[in-house]
Structure 1
Amino acid sequence: MKKAMLITTILISALAFGQDQYSKGMQKAFEIWGEGKPAEASNMFERIATAEMDNWLPYYYVASINTILSFGEKDQEKLARQLEKAQEFVDLAKAISPDNPEILVQQAMIHTAWIASDGATYGMTLSGKIVALYQKALQLAPDNPRVVFSKAEWDMGSAQYFGQDTAPFCKDVKRSLELFDTFKPESDFHPNWGKERAKATLKNCAE
């Protein structure tokens, strides 16, 4: 009995130590990212992912950073490397957490980055996939503010591209802000971005 209790205590202690190391690593990666060092932060999230193979979050952030870096990147080889890495890590995240609305939004953002780099090449093949991803994410999580806002942002961009009125989608941006005000992420490390961008988008709606 004592032996069993000792083993249980050791396992709990080891788990707590592992979680503590994970938390410290994630906090440090976010700090580095906040200091304007996205490449270094991506490398740190990648190292955490190798130790947390059943946790989708570090994989998600590697994909997110490399996607963000790709918007506006003029070097086509660098852009391709970044987006290919983003795709690799979002695929790993999907394998750990299938049908996750946050990951679906991230996948849509990767496709959007490809279209932003070369609309003539990627627009026809990826636009429909983006629409399907946002529709699925909305079905899974209709009250997730990032889902609602990201879909609205894509819809507005599409309307603008085709010379259509973007005003009908402003109500969705407004709704996303209401959702941001009440949204509670599952942990300090779960996605919680988008509110400031939604505010800026709604301000443009009023102009």
Structure 2
Amino acid sequence: MKNTGKLIIYIGDNYSTQEAIDKVREKMKVRGMDIKPELGKLLRYLHIPPYMTEDLISIRCPEAYKTPQEQIQWARELVKIVNMGYTIYLATMSDYIVRELSNCIMLNNLDSLEGLEHYGYENCHKLDSNKVEAYEVDCYNKNPTYIPYKVTSKQGIFATFFDEAIDKQNESQGEIFEKMNKQDKGFLDIY
């Protein structure tokens, strides 16, 4: 295997993303093959069938039917696969996966993970930002477009697709609490 590993993420509408992945699959000779034992174990854990080219794996919607914690763990396992030298085409709408991949990118800046062990981080979870590309898929036009996201070693993936929705939800929740507090003329005991 000559590839040094890469993670290419498509965020957003997975219907048009599937079209992009299908094009990749058409170019691949998809076949069962002898794979490294450690990769086989990871693929079984991730429930990915062992069909791929020598160094390319494509995955769509890995977050389906997974809890947030499982999605976070899943992202860490993906990093291990990239660090083994495989290229992964990933289509996802999971902010948990994208945020954890960002954490793994930021971990790569640290000489030591001391103090972070309680989160379950290990050196194998470090991800070089130069190995990551991320795109938002905009399918609301006649021809889907792929909008590149900024990826930096210090802050990870700038996924505005999630950030705008999360910010808006936090803002509305804050206003609802404020309105409830005024209505009840005092601090709400919500816990």
Q: Same fold (TM over 0.5)?
A: no
More helix, by proportion: 1
Q: TM-score range by the shorter chain?
A: under 0.3
The TM-score normalised by the length of structure 2 is 0.28
The TM-score normalised by the length of structure 1 is 0.26
